[in-house]
C-alpha cells in the first residue's frame, strides 16, 4: 500500500482521535437523561444541514448520458443483493426480539463504503486520473442508492411497528405514512430535488452552488470527529460477534461478489475491473453512523464496525490488489 493511502488512513484516525479526546473530556457537554448528548447534536447537524447539501449538489451534477453502465451493473447488482440479503437475514433472526431499526442499520454498515476519505486517494494513487474519474462517477450514485433504499425499508418497518402497537391504523395509512416519511426526509428529499433539477437541465446560480459546496465540505471532518466522539460517549460494544460478521461482509464478501460478476459475468478487465472491485473493498463509511444515530439504533456497534473495518482495510486492500494482479496475468 502506497504512502499516500497510508497517510490518508492515518489522518482519518487522527481526526477521529481528536473527536474522541473532545468527547472524553466532555468539552462540548455531558449527555442528559433525554439522550441529548453532543454526539447526537453533531449527528443531527450533519443529517439536516451538511449531508443534504452534498446530496443535492452531487445528484444535480451527475452526467447520466456518460455513465459506464457495465461497471454500474457490476457494482450495484451485488450491492443491492448484499443490502437486501443482510436486511432480510437480520429481520428473520431478530423478529420480535430486536429493535425494528436494527436490520436496516446493520445492512448499511455492511454496504456503505468510505468512498471519499479513503476511496478518492486510493483511486487517484493507484489508477491515476482516468481511474479517479470512473471512481467519482460510480460514487455519485453510491449514497443515492443506499440511503434511499434503506430509508424506505426502515420507514416501512417503523410504520408497521406503529400499526401493530396502535389500534385502528389501516394498511393504507401505513403505506401513506411510509411514503411520506421516506420522501419528506433530510437526505432523500434533496436527492429527489437534485435529480429533478438534473432532468430539467437546471443549474443553481454560482453563489448558491458555492454555498452548497462550502456546506458539503464540512461532511468529511464532521463525520470523522463524530465517530471519535461516539466512542467516547457510547463506549465499545460488549458483544463483538455481530461486528466481526458485518466487517467480513464489507471487506471480503462484497468485493468478492463484485469481482465475480464484473470479471466472469460482464467481462471487465484492466482499470475498470480494478476500480470497481477496490471501491467495493472500501471500509465502512461514516454515513452509516449518522444513519444509526438518526434512528437511535446500534450507535456503539456501528462506530466500532467503522473503526475496525478501517484498521483491517490496511490488510485486506493489499490482498485484493494482489488478487487483481494475478487475474491480469492469468485472465
Q: What's the confidence (pLDDT) of residue 28?
A: 87
Q: Give DSSP secondary structure letters for 104-167.
A: HHHHHHHH-B-TTTTHHHHHHHHHHHHHHHHHHHHHHHHHHHHHHHHHHHHHHHHHHHHHHHST
- C-alpha 158/C-alpha 178 separation (Å) is 8
Q: Which residues pair with 113 in a beta bridge?
A: 284
| pLDDT tens track for 38-51 | 888 888 888 889 88
Q: What's the confidence (pLDDT) of residue 58?
A: 81
Helix intervals (H) in the chain? 3-25, 38-45, 51-60, 69-94, 102-111, 119-165, 171-183, 188-200, 206-217, 219-234, 241-248, 254-259, 270-280, 287-294, 299-329
| pLDDT tens track for 179-209 | 776 677 787 888 889 889 988 999 889 999 9
- C-alpha 322/C-alpha 299 separation (Å) is 34
Question: How far is the CA of 128 from the CAs of 114, 121, 123, 125, 177, in angstroms?
Answer: 19, 10, 7, 6, 46
Residues 6+ apart with CB under 8 A from 247: 284, 305, 308, 309, 312
- C-alpha 12/C-alpha 6 separation (Å) is 10
Lowest mean pLDDT among 231-245, 249-263, 267-281: 231-245
Average pLDDT, the chain: 85
Q: Which residues pair with 284 in a beta bridge?
A: 113
Report whether 36 contacts 105 (CB < 8 A). Answer: no
- C-alpha 9/C-alpha 38 separation (Å) is 25
The model's pTM: 0.81
284 SS3 class: strand
Which CATH number describes the domain made up of 3-24+37-329? 1.20.1530.20
Q: What's the confidence (pLDDT) of residue 266?
A: 94
Q: How confident is the model at residue 164 (pLDDT cuts 50, 70, 90)?
A: confident
pLDDT above 80 for 3: no
Which segment, 50-54, 80-84, 287-291, is predicted with the most confidence on average? 80-84
Classify residue 164 as exposed, middle or buried by CB count within 10 Å of its CB (0-12, 13-18, 19+). exposed
- C-alpha 182/C-alpha 176 separation (Å) is 10
Domain regions of the chain by residue span: 3-24+37-329
Lowest mean pLDDT among 57-61, 123-127, 212-216, 245-249: 123-127
Amino acid at each position: 500500500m502506497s504512502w499516500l493511502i497510508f497517510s490518508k488512513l492515518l489522518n482519518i484516525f487522527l481526526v477521529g482521535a481528536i473527536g474522541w479526546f473532545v468527547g472524553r473530556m466532555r468539552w462540548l457537554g455531558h449527555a442528559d437523561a433525554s439522550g441529548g448528548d453532543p454526539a447526537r447534536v453533531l449527528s443531527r447537524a450533519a443529517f439536516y444541514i451538511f449531508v443534504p447539501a452534498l446530496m443535492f449538489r452531487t445528484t444535480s451534477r451527475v452526467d447520466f448520458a456518460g455513465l459506464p453502465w457495465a461497471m454500474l451493473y457490476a457494482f450495484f447488482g451485488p450491492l443491492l443483493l448484499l443490502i437486501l440479503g443482510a436486511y432480510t437475514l437480520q429481520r428473520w433472526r431478530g423478529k420480535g426480539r430486536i429493535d425494528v431499526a436494527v436490520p436496516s442499520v446493520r445492512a448499511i454498515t455492511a454496504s456503505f463504503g468510505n468512498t471519499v476519505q479513503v476511496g478518492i486517494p486510493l483511486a487517484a494513487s493507484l489508477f491515476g486520473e482516468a481511474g479517479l474519474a470512473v471512481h467519482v462517477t460510480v460514487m455519485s450514485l453510491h449514497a443515492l442508492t443506499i440511503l434511499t433504499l434503506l430509508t424506505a425499508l426502515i420507514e416501512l418497518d417503523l410504520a408497521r411497528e406503529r400499526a401493530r402497537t396502535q389500534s385502528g391504523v389501516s394498511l393504507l395509512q401505513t403505506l401513506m405514512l411510509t411514503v411520506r416519511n421516506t420522501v419528506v426526509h433530510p437526505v432523500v428529499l434533496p436527492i429527489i430535488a437534485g435529480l429533478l433539477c438534473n432532468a430539467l437541465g437546471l443549474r443553481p446560480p454560482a453563489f448558491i452552488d458555492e454555498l452548497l459546496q462550502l456546506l458539503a465540505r464540512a461532511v468529511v471532518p464532521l463525520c470523522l470527529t463524530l465517530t471519535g466522539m461516539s466512542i467516547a460517549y457510547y463506549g465499545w460494544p460488549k458483544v463483538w460477534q455481530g461486528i466481526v460478521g458485518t466487517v467480513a461482509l464489507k471487506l471480503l464478501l462484497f468485493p468478492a461478489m463484485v469481482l465475480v460478476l464484473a470479471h466472469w459475468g460482464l467481462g471487465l478487465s484492466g482499470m475498470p475491473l480494478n476500480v470497481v472491485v477496490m471501491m467495493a473493498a472500501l471500509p465502512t463509511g461514516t454515513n452509516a453512523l449518522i444513519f444509526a444515530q438518526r434512528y437511535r439504533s446500534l450507535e456503539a456497534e456501528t462506530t466500532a464496525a467503522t473503526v475496525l473495518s478501517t484498521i483491517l482495510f490496511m490488510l485486506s486492500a493489499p490482498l485484493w490488489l494482489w488478487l487483481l494482479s494475478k487475474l491480469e496475468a492469468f485472465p
